Structures are given as structure tokens and as C-alpha cells.
Copies of this chain bind each other. A is one copy, B any other.
């Protein structure tokens, strides 16, 4: 048995040993690659080639091999393959939700960078459910995944921090890597890579842009309290208030979930309450969609009556009515950077495991000066 004790060194197995390994390690399954070779009347190397699809094999040979594979219910041994280096481990990406217009672009970045390096990427939406995250991390250890990338703001409580520390250790022990994207680093010393972006700076720019143009009463439709991205964006907003000497008003600081419905409801309620505001900063562009709809429903013109700034710069922001001024988050770049840092770890001299990418305000037609 050649697979013993290779957990943490799996990724660096020398490539030259692969042919030998894949035949010897397959003995443990119910039918082996040798059984397939005998049934198909070809060599073990030919079966290996036909299954890998990386070498030219005639269609007739491939059919014979596949028929034998099927008749024997042969299942290629996962561990043997991963350890042999014949198939590079995948990169797994864990998102809270698949349908958000912005996180899909992190996934696209992960996928592009993984593909460049000859790896599959698998995406899984866990809706923050710890059991499903546990299951995915376990599955990815078994698959000798190159990295497991968790994306999106998180509530930084004790159970979360303990769970992340556990994932980091478990993945590290399996030769893989935990990468947190759009989340703060874990306190303490853990084998984890962090790729964050400047939530505070982006939110500061959004509010600054409004204050510079004379707005004073700005409705801030923030995220859920304790969510890391929401807290950071709120910090940036409050810093801009202070920088411009604008007094804080509790009635203008309205937390909620990052959905269109919530953006609509909060804007409608603020209008009905008559609290008075000339601009809205939405925590995300999705929230901004709701705000725009509520303002339209109330017969108000954007930007004539009320200005609106979003956060994310979704691809259809220029196509909205009016085209939306928003804070651009480099989502694809976050995904690419996550994979690059995780996979090039062995080649770097320094432990450059925490990077923060910048954000920028993209100015369109949803803001007008007072």
C-alpha cells in the first residue's frame, strides 16, 4: 500500500511516479484497473490513457475500455488518482447564494484562474448552514482539493471563528488551503489565506461624493448588524459624516437585509415617516433597486428629487433607470487572487497571506448636487 501518510504532501508528489502509482494503488477497490485491462484486451497504460482522455486513443479502443469499465462497475480510485498527480485537485468555492449578481463574478474569477492551472472549480451554496459547510469541507479534503474558498461577509462570532480555525487546520493537514474572501482575517495564527476588499474606503467615497455636492440628510440602508461587510461599510459611512461635520441622525441609519424587497420597504417607510432626506446610500445595488422602485412609486424623480448611490457595481448598473452611481468591487479579481495566492503558496518567499483589494466609485447619473 503506497498511499499511507501522504495526506499533507499530496500536492507535491513528483510527476514521474504517476504511471506506477495508478496501477498499484488501485488494488483496494472491488474491481481494479487490471481487471478492466484484461476484459478490454489492452494494457493497463491504455486503460489509464482512455480514462484520462489526455492522450490519443482510437475510438474503437476507447469504446472497448469503456464497455469493460461499465461491465465491471469499475470506479477509478479517487485517492490513488489524486495522489498520483494525474488529475490535479479541484478548487472549491462556497457562496451563501448563487443568484446574487455580484458573487457569481467571484465564482467566474475563481473558475478562470483554476482553469488556467488545469483544475476544475466546484461551487456550492451553503446559505451559511454550518452542517453543509462541514460536509463540503470534508468532501473537498477527500478530493484533495487545492483550495477551499469561502466568500461573502460572515458574522464573526465564537462558533464561526472556531469552525474556521478547524477548517484551516483540517485542510492544511490534507495539503489543501482555506481561503477567506471578503471577510476579515481570523484572530491568532492559522493556516489561512485572506483576500479582502476595502469596504470602509468604498462606503466613505459613496457618502463623500454626496456630501461634497451639498447633501446633508442621507438615508443609509445598511446591512445586518454583526455581518462583517455591513459593519465595515457602516464604519466608512460614519467616517465620512465626521469628515464633513455632518451630525449623525439615528433615523437615517437603517439596517436590514441585502435584498430588493428590504430596500423597497425601508425607503417606503422612511418616506412615509417623513424623516426628510435628499439622498440614499444603499448597502448593495440590489438594495438600491428596491430604493429606486420605492422612490418611483412615490412619484419622486432620481436624481431630480432624491439622489441614490449603490454598492457593488453590478453589470447592469449602466442599464438602470437612471444609470446607477455605485462603488465597484473587483469581484472577478477577488476570485482570481484567491486561487493564485492559494496555489502559489509554495513558491513565495514571504507569507503574503492577507491582501486587501481596493474599491472605486463609478459615477453615473443617479446623483445630483443640492
Contacts and interface: CB of A to CB of B under 8 A. Distances in A.
Given A66-B166, A173-B73, A123 B98 contact: yes
Given A138-B76, A170-B66, A104 B99 contact: yes
Interface string A141-182: 111000000000000000000000010011001100000000
Most buried by B among A66, A70, A136, A260: A70
A101 B98 contact: no
A30 B5 contact: yes
Copies in the complex: 2
Interface stretch (A220-228, A238-246, A271-279, A317-325): A317-325
Interface in A117-144: 120-125, 127, 131-132, 134-136, 138-139, 141-143
A107 interface: yes
Interface in A72-101: 73, 75-76, 78-79, 87, 90, 97-99, 101
A8 interface: yes
A125 B132 contact: no
Interface of A: 1, 3-5, 7-8, 28-30, 51, 53, 66, 69-70, 73, 75-76, 78-79, 87, 90, 97-99, 101, 104-105, 107-108, 111, 115, 120-125, 127, 131-132, 134-136, 138-139, 141-143, 166, 169-170, 173-174, 260, 289, 292-293, 315-316, 318-322
Output the residue of A30, A125, A131, A292 with the most chain B CB within 10 A.
Answer: A125
A294 to B, nearest CB: 12
B108 A136 contact: no
A326 to B, nearest CB: 13
B7 A75 contact: yes
Contacts of A108: 97-99, 125
A104 B98 contact: yes
B3 A30 contact: yes
A150 to B, nearest CB: 15
Contacts of A97: 108
A321 B316 CA distance: 11
Contacts of A5: 30, 73
